[in-house]
Structure 1
Amino acid sequence: MGKSQMFEARSQMPVSAEEVFSWHAREGAFERLQPPWESVEVVERQGEGIREGARLVVRMRLGPVPLRMVARHTRYIPGSLFQDVQESGPFSKWVHTHRMWDEPSAGGVLEDEVEYVLPVGPLGRVFGGGYARQRLERMFAYRHAVTREDLRRHAAFAGQGPLTVAVSGASGLVGGALVPFLSTGGHRVRRLVRGRPEAGDIAWAPGQGETDMVALEGVDAVVHLAGAPIADGRWTEERKALIRRSRVEGTRVLSEALARLSRPPKVLVCASAMGFYGSRGDEVLTESSASGTGFLADVTREWEAATAAAEQAGIRVVHLRLGVVVSARGGALAKMLPAFQAGAGGRMGDGQQWMSWVSLEDLLGLILFALHTPGMRGPVNAVAPNAVRQEEFARTLGQVLSRPAVVPVPAAAVRTLFGEMGEETLLSSAHLRPEAAERQGFTFLHPSLEQTLRFTLGKTSEGPRFRYS
C-alpha cells in the first residue's frame, strides 16, 4: 500500500455540534448527502445507523465503470465524532472521520477528514491524484452546503416540535429527496405505497379507492406528490387518461380518506402544476391569475378541486403549482444533460417562451415551510422569483458546463416528435411569480438560475475550507 494522503473539509454550522451530530445520526443522512451528479445506490445496510459495527454496501460508477464499496463504522462518540472505514472498494485505503465541536460564540463546526490511498500505487497518485482531489472538493462542498442549509431551515421551526408526515410519490424526484430531508430534520416519515408496505409504510390503492385508514390516524401532515409523469413521451388518449386519473382520482381518494379520520391531519400539501395557467406569453402570473386553456390546465383545475373533501373537513390545504424542478438527479435537467454535455444543446423553438423553474432544494424548503406556516393555504406558485426565457436557460446551462449551446430544436420538430405534449410543455410560455410564498416570508436559497445549476452540477467555487497533507 502506498503513502496515505489526508484531506480535510471544515465549515461553520448554524447550530450546536450536538445538533449537527444528531442530524447525521438520523435515518436518511447518507441519502441526503449524496451529490446529484454522482450515481450511488445503497444495496444493503447492516446494524444501527452510524454506530460502531454498522456496515453499508453501495453501488457507484466511475464514468462507465461500475464499482462496489463496503464501509464499516469503527468509531462512535455521541455528539462529537463517528468514523467509517472501507472494507472493500475502489480505494486501497479509505478512512473517513466526521468531527463536530463547538466554538465559543460561533456555533458548531463540522469537519470531514479523509485518509486515503489511491489504487495502482505511484501510478495512481501521478495520474489520479488531481482527479481525486477535484472529486473530493466537489463532493464535500455539496455535502457541507446541504448540511448547513438543512440545519438552518429545520432550526427555524424547532419550537413547533417534530411531525409525523405521510408522503405519497416518495419514489419520485421530489419525494425521494423529501423523505430524507424530513427524517434528518427529526420528523417521522411514513410513505404511502402501492402494494405490500414495509415497516412504517401506509398501504393505499387509489385505483380501487382504498387507503389504510387505521394507519393514517394521528398523522400530523400529508404531502401528496403521486401522479403519472407528464413529459414521458407523446400524449396518446390512453396516456392522457392515465395522467388525469392518477392526479384527479388519486387526490380525491386520499382527500376523502383524510376527511373520514377521527383525528385528521392539520395540513395537506398537494402537488399541482404551473400548467394551471396554460400558455400565456409575456403575462406575469400570480396565484390570483385565472386558469388557462389546454389539457394541462383542465387537468390541474380538476386536480386542485379534488381536495374538496379535505378542505370541508377543516384540513388546511396547500396547492403547490410546481414549475420546472431543476436537479441533476432527474427531471427535465437530467434529460437535457447528455445533449448539452456533448455540445449539441440549444433553445427549443424560438426560445422566447418563459420558463418558470425552481431548485429542488428550494422546493424541499417550501414544502417544510408550508407544513409549519398556518397562513399558507390555497394555491402557491412553487417557482423561483426569477423566471427566464428558454433561450436563456439553454445559454446558462451551456456556460455552466463550458459547452456551446447553439444547436436549436425548431418548433416544428418539437411538434412532430412530441405532438400536444411538446406544445404544452416545451413550447408553452408561463412567467410565474411566487407571490404567496414571498408574502408569507419564505426565503429562497437559490433565486438565480446560474447559482442553481452550479450547485446541482457541482460547479460552484464556494465551499468549506479545504486542507491537504
Structure 2
Amino acid sequence: MQASRIAVAGASGLIGSALVRSLEADGHQVLRLVRRAARAEREVEWDPKRSYVDTGGLAGCTGVVNLAGAGIGNHRWTDAYKRELRDSRVLGTAALAEAVAALDEPPRVFLCGSAIGYYGDTGGRAVDESAPAGDGFLPSLCVEWEEAAGAAVEAGVRTVFARSGLVVARKGGAWGRMFPLFKAGLGGRLGSGRQYWSFVALHDEVAALRHLLASDDLSGPVNVTAPSPVTNREVTAAMGRALHRPTLFTAPAPALRLVLGEMAGDVLCSQRVLPTRLLDSGFRFAFPTIDDAIGAALR
C-alpha cells in the first residue's frame, strides 16, 4: 500500500488508535476526525449528531475510515443508552458517507466499522458473510449502521463493512476487562460456557483493516474474526493457561441477567463466525488460535 492520506473517525479508541499508529509508522498521513474545532494540521472537525463534517479537510484523502461509536459494554442497556449506541454509529456513518459522496474527488475507499453482532445468536452453526441478519437489538443496530453508508455506495465509492469479532487486547475493550479478573484468579466461564466466541487478536484486526483499505476488489461485508472460533469454556481454559491461574469461578446465566440486564443476552449468545471473504482474498492471520491471540496480547 503506497503512502497515502487517510482520515480516521474513532482514532482514540482501542482499534482506531492501533490503526493510526500502524499507518503512521509506515509513512501514511493520517487525519483524525475530532468533535471540536480542529487545532492541528492533521485534525478535521466533525459533529455526527449535527450531520456536520468539514469536507474541506477530507480533500485529497484516498481513504476514509469510520470506527466511531459508543462502547457496547460500557453501560447497562437502558433505553437512553441504546439510543446513544445507535446514534453514535448510524448518525456518524451517515454524516461521513454524505461528506464522502459530496467531494469533487471522493476517496477510493470508505471503510466502516461493523460487528458480528449482525448475525445474532448462531448457536453451534458456523456462519459467514452470506448469512442473514439475526434477531434482536444488536443485529438491528448493525443493519442500520451499514445501511447508513448508502450515500457513499450510491456515489460509487468502494464501501467495506468490517464486521469485527471480540478483539483480544490487554487494555481496552471487553478483553481488557477480563485480564485483571483472570490475573487475580477470579476468572471463569460465563453461563454454560458452551457458547462460541469469535475473537481476533488486535494485531490481526489492524492488519485486516489495512488489507481492506488496500484491496480494490473487496467491498460490502467482510468478517474480521480469527478462523477458529472457540467456546467460552475454551477461552476460560486458555486464559488460565496463559496467566497460570485457576479458573474455578462461574457466572450463572441468571446472575448475569440480573447484573447486566438485556446486555446479558449478548454475553451469553453463541456466535460461530468465519472470515470466509478475508481468507479468500489472501489475508493470513498472524495469531489464528486463541492461545496465539492471548499470548500476543500479553506480550
- TM-score, normalized by length of structure 2? 0.98
The equivalent residue for 1:100 is: none
Pick from 312, 330, 336 the counterpart of residue 154 of structure 2.
Answer: 312
Q: State the Cα distance separating 1:329 from its structure 2 match.
A: 2.2
- Supply the AA of the counterpart residue of 1:214: G
SS at match of 1:325: strand
CA contact (8 A) 1:384 1:447 kept: yes
Q: State the Cα distance separating 1:196 from its structure 2 match.
A: 2.4
SS at match of 2:22: helix
Alignment of 1:423-442 (within 5 A): 423-424=265-266, 426-442=267-283
- Supply the AA of the counterpart residue of 2:158: R
SS at match of 2:189: coil
Pick from 144, 160, 166 the counterpart of residue 324 of structure 1.
Answer: 166
Q: State the Cα distance separating 1:198 from its structure 2 match.
A: 2.7
Pick from 151, 155, 171 the counterpart of residue 12 of structure 2.
Answer: 171
Unaligned runs of 5+ residues in structure 1 are 1-156, 459-469
CA contact (8 A) 1:233 1:421 kept: no
- Separation in 2, partners of 1:266, 1:185: 19
- Supply the AA of the counterpart residue of 1:242: E
> Is 2:59 aligned against 1:217?
yes
The equivalent residue for 2:212 is: 370
SS at match of 1:319: strand
- Separation in 1, partners of 2:204, 2:254: 34
The equivalent residue for 1:37 is: none
Q: State the Cα distance separating 1:209 from its structure 2 match.
A: 1.1
SS at match of 2:60: coil
Higher helix proportion? 2
Q: State the Cα distance separating 1:403 from its structure 2 match.
A: 0.2
Q: State the Cα distance separating 1:283 from its structure 2 match.
A: 1.1
CA contact (8 A) 2:191 2:252 kept: yes
The equivalent residue for 2:186 is: 344
SS at match of 2:249: coil
For the pair shown, which has the larger CA radius of gyration, 1 or 2?
1
Q: State the Cα distance separating 1:178 from its structure 2 match.
A: 0.9
The equivalent residue for 2:141 is: 299
Unaligned runs of 5+ residues in structure 2 are none
- Supply the AA of the counterpart residue of 1:269: L
- Separation in 2, partners of 1:455, 1:373: 26
- Supply the AA of the counterpart residue of 2:193: G
- Separation in 1, partners of 2:63, 2:183: 41
Alignment of 1:46-445 (within 5 A): 157=1, 161-199=2-40, 200-424=42-266, 426-445=267-286
- TM-score, normalized by length of structure 1? 0.63
CA contact (8 A) 2:201 2:296 kept: no
SS at match of 2:167: strand
- Supply the AA of the counterpart residue of 1:374: D
Total equivalences in the alignment? 298
CA contact (8 A) 1:285 1:433 kept: yes
Higher strand proportion? 1
Higher relative contact order (CA 8 A, sep 6+): 2
Root mean square deviation of aligned Cα: 0.8
Q: State the Cα distance separating 1:375 from its structure 2 match.
A: 1.3
- Supply the AA of the counterpart residue of 1:427: L
- Supply the AA of the counterpart residue of 1:304: E
- Separation in 2, partners of 1:340, 1:206: 37
- Separation in 2, partners of 1:269, 1:410: 38
